[in-house]
Amino acid sequence: MKEPRLVKFQRHENEQFSDFIKKLELQAVETAEERMPLYLKVGLKDASIVLDVGCGSGIVTRDIAHLTKGKVIGIDESSDMIRVAQKVLNRYRNVSLTVGKAEKLPFPDNVFDICVCNLLLMWAQHPAYVVSEMARVTKRGGKVLASLEPDYGGKLHYPEHAKVDSIFAGKAICDKGGDPHIGRKLRCLFVQAGLKTEVGIGNNRIWSCAEDKSYYLHARDFYVNALKHAGLTQKEIDEWEFSFLRSLDEGIQLNFFPQFYAIGAKP
Ligand SMILES: C[S@@+](CC[C@H](N)C(=O)[O-])C[C@H]1O[C@@H](n2cnc3c(N)ncnc32)[C@H](O)[C@@H]1O
């Protein structure tokens, strides 16, 4: 029997959502070594109340909940994400989760010791409002941290691939409504929110080919879908994937793109 269109569409949406969750999971594991020093630097250990804005599936929130003795609140605009996060965090008594917009945080002024976001500003429609809201709800003397905000303009890799490179150098992000150049804007966003600001690059290590391969294979559906969405044929995708994986197996592929962080102290 032919599958009805709506069911097919929903199945496609569900597959994309679970691909995205898989990508977030792996990303959280692979970036823990970059995020942990930042959490320690802003004083997460001794905080009594922390807000994780754009908490997504809660994998990063779980790292935060491990590191602090305080209470952690996670907020995300997507109720689907919050449902996943509730499962991921159901054994954590110090965490509570809520649905809400980062541009209009449902909290009074000056309540959180630390307000963090990971990989959010790139996806937020109004990043300037988000940072100023994060600054508003943070206590005086508290800290705002944005971690892992990439800048695809600084993406380097070799061997190159004429057709696919431009897609992964930002086009796929733009098509999904993200800002591939958010990294370079962090200082401006934080300073304009009235924060005493420090910016830096979080990832200063080049991954090995084995790490790149394992990341790619785990999140493969996400990348293949992005290429399909950009209009590549299955044959073109197969050819690219074959040469990409071969270069990783030969140990010659190098990939790097800078991921910035900003720490803002609220005066
Ligand atoms: C790339 S995910 C990152 C999730 C999580 N922070 C992590 O690192 O695993 C971005 C998340 O931000 C959420 N988001 C995007 N714009 C938002 C907004 N304006 N307000 C609240 N959440 C937002 C999305 O729903 C998504 O869950």
- In the chain, where the domains are located: 5-150+180-206+258-265
**67-84 confidence digits (pLDDT tens):** 999 999 999 999 999 999
Q: What H or E segment, with its residue span, contains residue 198? A: strand 196-201
Residue 26, pLDDT score: 83
- Count other Cβ atoms within 10 Å, centred on residue 15: 12
Residue 30, pLDDT score: 83
Residue 10, pLDDT score: 54
Residue 12, pLDDT score: 58
User: Residue range 91-113: average pLDDT?
Assistant: 97
Atom of ligand 1 nearest to the CA of 125: 19
Give the per-residue SS3 of 15-51. HHHHHHHHHHHHHHHHCHHHHHHHHHHCCHHHCCEEE
**Alpha carbons 24 and 14: distance in angstroms, whole number:** 15
Residue nearest atom 13 in ligand 1 by C-alpha distance: 54
Q: In CATH terms, is domain 5-150+180-206+258-265 a member of 3.30.460.10?
A: no
**179-201 confidence digits (pLDDT tens):** 999 999 999 999 999 999 999 99
User: Identity (one letter) of the amino acid at 31?
Assistant: T
Q: Is 134's C-beta closer than 6 angstroms to any atom of ligand 1?
A: no
Residue 3, pLDDT score: 47
Is 66 within 8 Å of 94 (Cβ atoms)?
no
Q: Is 178's C-beta closer than 6 angstroms to any atom of ligand 1?
A: no
Q: Is 56's C-beta closer than 6 angstroms to any atom of ligand 1?
A: yes
Residue 11, pLDDT score: 54
